[in-house]
Structure 1
Amino acid sequence: MRWFYDLRISIKLALTFFLILALTCILGAFSLLQIQKVNRSTTDMADNWLPSVQIALEMEVAISRVRGNQLLRLSSAGADDAAYKKQVDAQLALFEEKLAAFGPLAPLPEEQAQYRRLKQAFDEYKRVQAAVAQAFEGGRREQGLDLMRGDGARHYREVFDAADKLVVLNKEGSREAGPRRTPSTAPRWR
């Protein structure tokens, strides 16, 4: 270490400056690499997982509104049939729109299988809802009620459960897309 003491002060300062500069460059490169990882995770969540969750939740709301308006239509004894039918048709159209929008956001095999299940259940639900609407329009409210209680309720639960499963899958996917946590980096408030 004697050689370092024998150097002139200007050389010592220059060496120290370059050492600090090199360490700063290494730290900067490491930071950029870490920010790229965070950016990839954030982009994946923003472009795929969060829109998927939002659309699946909107489908749940739409199908619930269809069911609710059908029940209100049934209990109204014909007073507001046109308004309830309009609401049911609008919510069915909204559900179909959201269903079509969800398709490209389902790249994983499990999501695709659940998406196909949802589409199939919704097609069956639409078929029953058309029969319920015909019964209402034909003045056969009891037949419409029986359809709603039987096949309508079963298919409604299938649609709702399939949409709910998509919500769960996408929430799990968004958690996995985030940075991997170790016990030392996990939040302490849990």
Structure 2
Amino acid sequence: MSLRGQTKSVAGAGATERMLVVTSGPVNLAISATAVEGILPPEEAGAKGPVMVREITYPVTNLAQKLGHSSAAGATDPRIILCGSRGAHRGFRVDQVLGLTEVAISLLSPLPPHFTGEERRWFKGYFLYHEGVALWADSDWLVAPDPGGGSLEPPADAARITVEHAKPAGEIIELEVVDAERTK
């Protein structure tokens, strides 16, 4: 299985969007599968600075900090999610990968109207995920340079990660389908 799936149909659910759901700080964030290029295992998640995988350099940012939060204290399963969109690439350190899910398009909700600021650029919407919600991140915003963050050009000493360690995301997580019906 690969994360590179497009929006598709699942029997009984209609059109769906495949997403990787992660937790970073207090936030559950869903990243479109088409933007996920790989997941680094825990032993590589501590890499400092940018990483290079398959000759692509990924500047690494703590996702919780990008969202204005701090990481969960004592995260036991940190990962680096490698993302790309429109030729730009970034890596994000997350506290935990919650899973790969397909969400029925009918269950994706836009942000409520009281969200009027920058968050409209950050998130495409949200959906119910287990006992809470997951915010659906805008892929272009994710990989864009941080304001005032300087150049994304990699330094010559970027950590090189071997292909064996940078597993395609579909190899380490299972698919879950979030159905259009919810039981109480």
**TM value normalised by structure 1:** 0.24
More helix by share: 1
More strand by share: 2
